[in-house]
Amino acid sequence: MPKAGKLKRLFMKAFDFVIVGGGAAGFAAAIKADELGAKTAMINAGLPLGGTCVNVGCVPSKAMLYPGEILHLFAKHNIKGIPPCDLSKNGQNFSFHDLIEEELSIVATARMEKYIHVLQQLSHVSFIEGMGRFVSPHELEVNGTILKGEKFLIATGSKAEPPLIDGIKEAGFLTHVEALSLSQQPRSLLVLGSGPVGLEFAQMFARLGTKVVLVSRRERILPNGEPELAEKLEEIFQEEGIEILHNAIVLKANKVDGKKKIVLSIQGEIREIFGDEILVATGKIPNTKGLGLEDIGVALDAKKAIVTQPTLETSLSHIFAAGDVASLPMRLETTAGKEGTLAASNALAATKLSINYRSVPGTIFTDPQYAYVGLTDEEAQKQGYACACRVVDFGKVPKAAILRRKDGVVKMVVDASSQEILGVHVLAPHAAEFIFAGALAIQNKMTLEKFLEALPVFPTLSESLKIAAQAFVTDLGKLSCCT
Ligand SMILES: Cc1cc2nc3c(=O)[nH]c(=O)nc-3n(C[C@H](O)[C@H](O)[C@H](O)COP(=O)(O)OP(=O)(O)OC[C@H]3O[C@@H](n4cnc5c(N)ncnc54)[C@H](O)[C@@H]3O)c2cc1C
């Protein structure tokens, strides 16, 4: 750590609140700080303003998944009388270049409207482009200037974990960042990792006509998810031509005749696979390196995330953390934003606010989407609930037949003694659009009886949640529509 004395020549500025990072968490905190009238500085570098979600995460990935969904619908709409039409074959019938160009333009517009313009309206917030580094508990150095802060928020996010695979650097690989701005569509792609990012990108490229092999270290995809849903999703992936290799340990990578090669060990058997590109989606690491945190006494956990209390305080009570960099239970755009807002309030208005993560929904944007909120069956049991579950397939949901999409599954987890709804897990087209109903049920500690008083619109896929609840109290085979 440079000694404060050596930095005396540097220009010094004083703020009530200094935010390091200009992503979802940083922005939400800046908006709250502005509302509270605090003299605030927001520092950002690395990714452009807006951070991961708008630039290289949620927005561009969904903008690329949607065209794949459209191509898939052309080929597999299952409507008798309309001949299917496969436009994705070898990428011959559509322009990959145009898809990427449009995706990047959606990103640029969102960044301008939701971040740059918003920042311009915050009268108490000064923006500084540069990398921040603590030189003392109350001083952050940026571009040779010292910012003195009463309170701080660290919201520096996370980045794709560099793979520890022999030869992969030399062979070359993509992360989600490069994969969303390719100039050419790979004809074949080896995806390492079967978590949310691996699954979304595998289906995105497969539906555009790329031959995809998904390499998973685990016995099944989404090992922490509900097995009934994960198995169904895996079945759908395989039907769409995505090859999934389980229990696969990557030994090394190299380049052979212009192709990338990966050597795997699958339960002791050695196998070689080849592709035009390798996409690494094996996890993300918090951006704590180079911030000087160890020197000032901010504690990190074993995964290098900042040890963060539910009230967003770190081990130093005037420094808060929010978003992907913090050791909190979820890493989503929504939680990052909410944590940023609460951290600013707790830092500047002496509140002690925190998030109830159990009622926060999340979604893996495959098609069908995997949306979830609350506890899984296994988690509920581990927490000591005598839990009851019902699993209902979309053959029982009238709207699914109308859409020719019976490939969904819904699972509801309930506390058997109090009948409180503990978890809702849905694999269905557009499941993200209606998981919020499950979130409200959990947030309000609804019992099955209370939940069943509500009337979903007929015919909708949201009705699946009510049908899952009915499965606890009725024989679904004896139900008519809307009963
Ligand atoms: C491919 C992908 C798809 C995703 N899809 C979804 C989705 O659909 N829905 C969802 O809810 N979530 C999604 N996520 C997760 C979501 O994007 C993140 O949880 C969220 O963006 C984290 O926000 P943040 O503010 O913590 O960090 P970030 O948005 O990463 O912002 C941190 C900022 O700080 C900057 N920075 C880092 N170090 C410094 C430093 N020392 N000084 C100054 N600046 C610094 C970074 O460059 C960055 O600009 C996705 C993530 C990925 C990778």
The rounded Å distance from CA 52 to ligand 1 centre is 3
The rounded Å distance from CA 300 to ligand 1 centre is 19
Give the pLDDT confidence of 367-426 residue by residue, as tens digits: 999 999 999 999 999 999 999 999 999 999 999 999 999 999 999 999 999 999 999 999
Whether the per-residue pLDDT at 1 is higher than 50: the answer is no
* Among protein residues, the one whose CA lies closest to atom 15 of ligand 1: 332
Helix 96-111 × helix 58-76 angle, to 10°: 140
Locate the ligand 1 atom nearest the alpha carbon of residue 284 and give its number: 53
- pTM strictly above 0.85: yes
* Among protein residues, the one whose CA lies closest to atom 8 of ligand 1: 58
Whether the per-residue pLDDT at 6 is higher than 70: the answer is no
- The confidence score (pLDDT) of residue 251 equals 96
Half-sphere exposure of 478 (CA within 13 A, CB side): 5
The rounded Å distance from CA 66 to ligand 1 centre is 21
Whether the per-residue pLDDT at 113 is higher than 80: the answer is yes
To test the pocket of ligand 1, the residue of 31, 156, 288 to mutate (highest count of ligand atoms within 8 Å of its CB) is 156
The rounded Å distance from CA 214 to ligand 1 centre is 24
The rounded Å distance from CA 284 to ligand 1 centre is 10
Mean pLDDT across the stretch 456-483?
Answer: 90
Whether the per-residue pLDDT at 478 is higher than 90: the answer is no
Locate the ligand 1 atom nearest the alpha carbon of residue 22 and give its number: 33
The pocket around ligand 1, CB under 6 angstroms, is made up of 20-26, 43-47, 51-53, 57-58, 61, 131-132, 155-157, 176, 197, 287, 291, 323-325, 331-334, 336, 365
Angle at CA of residue 477, ends 474 and 478, nearest 5°:
65
Give the pLDDT confidence of 146-168 residue by residue, as tens digits: 999 999 999 999 999 878 899 99
Share of the chain above pLDDT 70, in %: 97
* Among protein residues, the one whose CA lies closest to atom 40 of ligand 1: 131
